[in-house]
Structure 1
Amino acid sequence: MPAVRNVLVVGGGAAGAAAAILLAEGGVSVDLVDAKPDVAALGSGITLQGNALRVLRELGVWDQVAAEGYAFDTLGLRAPDPAGTLLAELTDIRTGGADLPATLGMYRPALARILIDRATAAGAKIRFNTRPTGLSAGAGAVSFDDGSTGRYDLVIGADGIRSWTRRTIGIDCEPQPVGMGIWRTFTRRPPSVTRTDLCYGGPAYIAGYCPTGQDSIYAYLVEQVQDRSGLSAEEKLATMRGLAEAYHGPWDEIRESLTDPATVNYTAFESHLIDGPWHRGRVVLIGDAAHSCPPTLAQGAAQALEDASVLAELLLRHDTVTDELWQEFTARRLDRARTVVEASLQLARWLLAHERGDVPGLMGRIAHLVAEPA
């Protein structure tokens, strides 16, 4: 018998949806609430490393993800010169196992829709436009803004980097600025783009792109963080196009396709880690609610999915929620998440300082770490 009979999941992103799927499949009654009207309405692209794909296969959605995304096994490094010269082509480690690709890019809203549909099919009861307004961590009692209430054996806070759940249970760990901002866009894929290529240097710290489907890519430019909030949509588009002028090769085609202001957005990098147990009473945090890092190693979604997988495994394997269960969860997740967060920040620090750090070595160490199941 599972350690819990009924669970509330707060947040319908990757971590929350994954936990809902696995627990509902294991016979647990699952309610999932999300403040947004539709988690699949917003976003551009997402890069999923092999260890994320391993969990998606566990969730029973790998075939759908593979059909909608774009898989590849190499990483290109290009120069910020007039030719966009290819400097190196690196073979990535298949961190999810030999039978899964090293990396897959896809449209983020498509992934969100696949996961929510799978959670619904597994039996989770999902309510959008609903947020908790009160929470007793000791009793598992929750009130909601629609006037309803509930009592749960466990509340899983998977409500993102600005987690209401984290603050409500008294964990004082807020994200801190990294010093970088990222321009993102979602546009059509030039035929020459068949993997991620990264260019370090030029007016941006990183210029990169990732194919997300047969006809689409996610492209991005990382700069020193600035207040871009005052720019109109048209000005944001012009700013991103101007920054991209320094990059060539496939960037010449990508830049020409950037014509729709609605496809461009700007976000500042932030990071945090709860350096200790992620639970309080009948509440536990996972995903971005517990840890976040700049996307310099593309491990954010992967670590969130791993959190959900490990938590569900323990809840379904143990008969009761005990200190032993929480100790095992902490032992399996905290150091691993810390290593990924610190490595992501180290890469950001090298770039900010214009320092030639051992980027391939750092990436290799993290790849070997996450190749071992969490």
Structure 2
Amino acid sequence: MKRVHNFNAGPAALPFDVLKRAQEEFINFKDSGMALMELSHRSKEYDQVHEKAIADLKELYHIPNDYEVLFLQGGASLQFAMIPMNFLSSEKVGNYSLTGSWSEKALAEAEKLGKTAIISSSKESKYNYIPNINELIPTDDAAYVHITSNNTIYGTQWAEYPDLGDIPLIADMSSDILSKEIDISKFSMIYAGAQKNLGPSGVTVVIVKKDLLKDIPSSIPTLLNYQTHVKNNSLYNTPPTFSIYILSLVLDWVRAQGGVSAIEKINHEKASLIYNCLDESNGFYTPHAQVGSRSNMNVTFTLPSEELTKDFLAQAKELGFVGLAGHRSIGGCRASIYNAVPIESCEALVAFMNDFKTKY
């Protein structure tokens, strides 16, 4: 079977063991005589999948008991609007840290719904660094502070998170959730599209502190109100059952690797391999992100010319390296090395990069 080196930014690589298991169970799930996609979301067979996924995520990520875990739809993009709809009152201000395109989009949605403030930004440097957490000073009337923990387009990542006291910290962790250990209690809410580290596209995970939910206005449309999904265990409407099933298998795989701490160690090794290659290339490869802000999920870099970049990407594709083109908004190259990308793929990429540099 032909398998490429998958460096796509999302939807992204899934663990091969997960794909094999899903294939084995596809036609006749748990002797039900049906594929899981055919099962009612109210059936006992699916209910076991649903409850196990929630329980496993809580266990693997050490989520405290005063948090809810929700499986929603609409991707992180819908959360950009749901957050201010639920938590931004007319007397308060939504505080945003701008570190890339996705935080800009989150801010743009909030601006349609209430008052906002930009309390830190690296836009002036083309988002090549993460602002110092000591400079993240909320406004006096802050409803919450919103950050994007990892920036896929620019290849930057928060190495530490601010302690804001009573002000809720909300993080879009779509591209680095479950890639490293974090202290969940620092956050009032974490949300993530699954299609990088958690599973396939179609399901969005929300981890939200119960205290944050108590003042949601009753005027919020039913399906856009977090309380609706809490009260109905994410089953108010038909959930993306197959995506949640694959997510559950990914969590099994994470446990088999030794848990999140083991995954974090491997991710650091993968990223170090590629960053060392960039740093030792004598300027042939230039990283976009500043040291100290570099992402362990998305390694972004440029070559000396557009012509060389095209040659690099063409030759990489011929050799089975997929998804290395940078985002269309900034160009260059990007290697997305999420949890399921094996270290062997990173080693093969580094070997190709060194060979390409030598030839040119």
| TM bracket (short chain) | under 0.3
TM-score, structure 2 as length reference:
0.26
TM-score, structure 1 as length reference:
0.26
| Structure in which a larger fraction of residues adopt strand | 1
